[in-house]
Every structure is written in C-alpha cells, then in structure tokens.
C-alpha cells in the first residue's frame, strides 16, 4: 500500500501550489442525452502545463490517476464517450483560477478510493469511486464514508505517510 501511495503522491505533488485552469469530463452520451452525474474520467489542467486525469481503476473500487488526456470513443449503437469542459460546473467553478493548497488521498482496505483537493480560500473538491462510478462533491460526504474504516493521507512535498483516521 505504501508503494501505491508513494507512486500516486509523486504525480499529485506536481500540482501542489499551482492554479487550476480548467476541468474536463469524459461523459457517456446516448441518443443526444448526456449524463453529467457520473463522469467516466476527469481531467484537471494546471498552470505550468501539468494535468491530472482521474478515473475508476480496473478493480471497480479504487481510483486511478495519471497525466494522460482522456480519449473520446464512438461506440456506434451504444453511444459515445465525449469530452466536455465542465469548468463552470458547480463542483469545480470555485476552484478555477485558485491554487491547490493541499491534497489528501482517501484510503480504505488497502485501496485509494478517493481524492480531496483543497484550494486557496478553504474550498475543496472530493472525487470518490463508489461502485465503479466517479462522484464529485464539494466536501467530504460523511454519510457515505461512515460505514467503512477509512483514512485520509496527506500528499505533501516530502511524503511521510501522515494519516488522519476516521474510525
């Protein structure tokens, strides 16, 4: 688990102290209907050229992040996955133009299932994998996390494994 946290922290440390420029979501569309409630992938772009893509991992429980750009896909009669700018969405608009002050990984049962980004001005974005679907909240939803043991692990310039326990 420590190796997984160290590897993920390495990429996320690159965006600490940088302003968020935009957020894009890979959304499934079918017959012209768009489902913005649960994006397939999210792409955060930052000043200095850094970007972070967040998506559900193959295990269906954890999140995966890298610096790749999401790829649109035409699935013929099953619809399309299309990239949309969602910088003006309620979950992201307050972070646009603000510096990322702090990032915490949300960990349970040896998986990273969420990410909390705090922006200057004490606002935050929380991205969580719940049942192989991404959900975005403006703060950590306690009612969802009450059932399981979980911890928040601070990502800082020199990862030390500092955690804060829930239970």
13-41 pLDDT, tens digit per residue, is: 999 999 999 999 999 999 888 878 889 99
DSSP 107-152: EETTEEEEEEEEETTTEEEEEEESSS-EEEESS--HHHHTTS--EE
pLDDT tens, 36-67?
888 999 999 999 999 999 999 999 999 999 99
Residue 69 per-residue DSSP state: P
pTM confidence score = 0.87
Whole-angstrom Cα distance, residue 112 to residue 64?
8
Q: Which of 157, 149, 150 is nearest to 106 (CA)?
A: 150
Separation of first and last alpha carbons in the chain: 19
Mean pLDDT of the chain: 86
Query: 95, 117 in Cβ contact below 8 A?
Result: yes
The pLDDT of residue 162 is 45
Whole-angstrom Cα distance, residue 21 to residue 2?
30
* Reported confidence tier of residue 152, pLDDT bands at 50, 70, 90: confident
Strands 80-85 and 100-108, by their bridges, are unpaired
Query: 76, 137 in Cβ contact below 8 A?
Result: no
**Positive or negative torsion for Cα 41, 137, 113, 107:** positive
């Amino acid at each position: 688990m420590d190796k997984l946290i160290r590897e993920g922290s390495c990429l996320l440390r690159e965006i600490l102290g940088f302003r968020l420029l935009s957020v894009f979501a890979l959304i499934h569309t079918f017959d012209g209907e768009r489902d913005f409630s649960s994006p397939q992938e999210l792409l955060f772009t930052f000043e200095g050229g850094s970007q972070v893509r967040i998506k559900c991992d193959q295990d269906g429980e954890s999140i995966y992040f890298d610096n790749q750009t999401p790829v649109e896909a035409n699935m013929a009669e099953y619809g399309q996955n299309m990239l949309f700018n969602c910088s003006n969405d309620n979950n992201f608009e307050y972070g646009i133009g603000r510096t990322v002050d702090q990032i915490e990984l949300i960990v349970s049962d040896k998986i990273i299932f969420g990410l909390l980004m705090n922006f200057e001005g004490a606002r935050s974005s929380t991205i969580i994998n719940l049942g192989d679907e991404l959900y975005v909240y403006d703060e950590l939803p306690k009612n969802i996390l009450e059932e399981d043991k979980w911890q928040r692990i601070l990502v800082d310039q020199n990862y030390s494994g500092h955690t804060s326990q829930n239970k």
